Structure 1
Amino acid sequence: MGLYLAFIIPPLLLMLYAQWRVSSTFGKYSKIANDRGMTGLAAARWLLDQHNLQEVRVELSKGKLSDHYDPRGRVLRLSPDVANKSSVAALGIVAHEVGHAVQHATAYTPLKIRNAIYPVASLGSNFGFILVFLGFILYSFGTAFGLNIAWAGVALFGAAVVFSVITLPVEFNASTRARIMLRSTGLASVTEMNGASAVLSAAALTYVAAMLQAVMQLLYFVMLLMGGRR
C-alpha cells in the first residue's frame, strides 16, 4: 500500500491543484469583458472564417468547460459559459479549440497519431485496470496464466498512456496557435492577451497532471507484475 501511495499521491495532488487553478483562473477572467464585446460563439465563427474553415460548425455543448473540437464531425462545441459570454476567458478557450481545428485541417502529425490510437487507448483506459486486477486475482489462486492476463491489461493500459503522452504536444501546440491568432488578428489587446494566456496555461497543467498520473499508474503495475514473475 505504501508503494502504491508513493506512486499515486503526488500526481493526484498535482491534478487537484491543476483543477483548482483552471477553475479559479477561468472564474477570474470570465468576469472580465473583452474589448470587442464578442461572445465565444461569435469569436469562434470569426476565427474559423479567418482560417477558411467555413465548413466547421460551431455548436453548444452541455456542462462547464466541456469545450472541444470533434474532428470526426468537424464540429467545434462550446460550453454555455464560453459560448454566451463576451469575456477574456472565452477568447482564450475559443482560440485554443480553433487551434485544434486548424491542426486537423493542416494534418498536424501528433493529432493524426492521437486520433489513430484513440480506439485502442479508449479500450485500454476502460478495461486495462480490469484485466490487471483480474489477472492478479487468478494468479493469487494459483492460476499461472493469471500473470499473462495481467500483462495484457498492462499492454492495453499502456496504449492509454501513449495517448496521454501524445496529447501534450497536441494541446501545447493548440495553445501556441491560439496565442498567435489572438495577437495576429487583433482580436485580443495586450492586456487581454495576458488573461487569455493565463487561462491557456492553467488548462495545459491539467494535461501534464493527467499524463503523470497515467505514467505512474503504469509503472506501478509493471513493478507489481515484475515482482509476481519473480
Structure 2
Amino acid sequence: MFFWDSTYILVIIGLVISMMASGYVNSTFRRYSTFKSKKGYSAQEVASLILQQSHINDVGVQQIAGDLTDNYNAQTKMLSLSETVYHSSSVSAIGVAAHECGHALQDNKNYVPLKLRSGFVPVANFGSTISVPLILLGVLLQWNQTLITIGLFCFSFAFLFQVITLPVEFDASRRAITILRDGQILDEEELAVVRKVLFAAALTYVAALLASLLQLLWMILLFGGNRRND
C-alpha cells in the first residue's frame, strides 16, 4: 500500500494543476514583460507612489532575490519585490507590485480576512508539521484510528489556509486595479494587461486550493475509515 495505491492519482492531478497554473502565470508575465509603462514608471516607483498616495508611511519597499517571489510582510511592514519586478518598467511588473501594495492597503485598513490569514499561519504550519508523524504513528500502532483522525484533522489546516487565502488575494488584485486607475498611474490599455497578469496569478491560488483539497481527500481515502492492509 505504501508503494502504490490507486488514490495517488488525486495527488498527481493536484500536482499537474499546480504546474499548469504556475506555467501559465510565468508565461503571461513574460508575454507582457516588453509592454512598457507609458509614463516610464518602474515597479518600485509605482509601489512607492501607491503607498504615498494612500498615506501609508510605515511600509518599506525592498528588492529580494528570485523570480516572482514578491510578497508583503505585515509583521515587518516590508513590501518585497523580486529581481525581475523591482527595476522593471513593464506593465506586468507594475501590476505585480500594485498587487503587493494591495496587501499593504489591506493591512492599513485592518482588513479582517488578512488578519485571519496572518493569525492562521502558525496553525497551518503546526498542522502540516505534526499531521504526517501522527498518521504514521497511528498506522504503526496497528491502525490506531484516534491518532490517524487527529493527524487528518491537523492536515486539513493546510486546506483551510488556502480557503482563507483566496479572498485575500482576490481583494488585493481588486485594490491594485482601483488605485492604478484612480491614481492615473496607468491608462485603460495598460490596465487591461494588468488584469490579465493578475488573473493568471489568481489562478495559482485557485490551483493551490484544489491541490490541497485533493491531497486532503487522498489522505482521508488512504488512511481514514480503519483501512488496513489485511
TM-score (norm 1): 0.92
The answer as to 2:95 corresponding to 1:92 is yes
Give the letter for the 1:51 counterpart. S
Residue 73 (structure 2) aligns with? 70
Structure 1 residues 9 and 229, CA gap change in structure 2 (3 angstroms): closer
> What is the 5 A alignment of 1:53-132?
53-132=56-135
- Quote the RMSD (CA, aligned, Å): 1.6
Identity fraction in percent: 39
Deviation of 1:229 (Å): 6.0
3-state SS of 1:2 partner? coil
CA shift at 1:173, angstroms? 0.6
CA drift of 1:39 comes to: 0.9
The AA in structure 1 aligned to 2:72 is Y
CA positional deviation for 1:150 = 2.2
Alignment equivalent of 2:45, drawn from 42, 47, 51: 42
Asked if 1 retains the 8 angstrom alpha-carbon contact of 2:173 and 2:198, the reply is yes
For residues 30-81 of structure 1, the C-alpha deviation after alignment (integer angstroms, 9 at most, x for no partner) is: 2221111111111100001111111100011111101000000111000011
Instruction: Report the count of equivalent residues.
Output: 224
The one-letter code matched in structure 2 to 1:226 is G
Q: Segments of 4+ in structure 1 off by > 6 A? A: none
2:196 to 198, 201, 204: 198
Note the residue ranges of structure 1 that are not aligned, 5 or more in a row: none
Mapped partners of 1:98, 1:73: distance in 2: 14
Give the corresponding residue for 2:187: 189
Q: Which runs of no fewer than 5 residues in structure 2 stay unpaired? A: none
Q: Per-residue displacement from partner, 1:196-230 (whole Å, max 9, x unpaired)?
A: 11110011001011111111111222233333169
Distance 1:182 1:129 in 2: 44
Q: CA deviation at 1:161?
A: 1.1
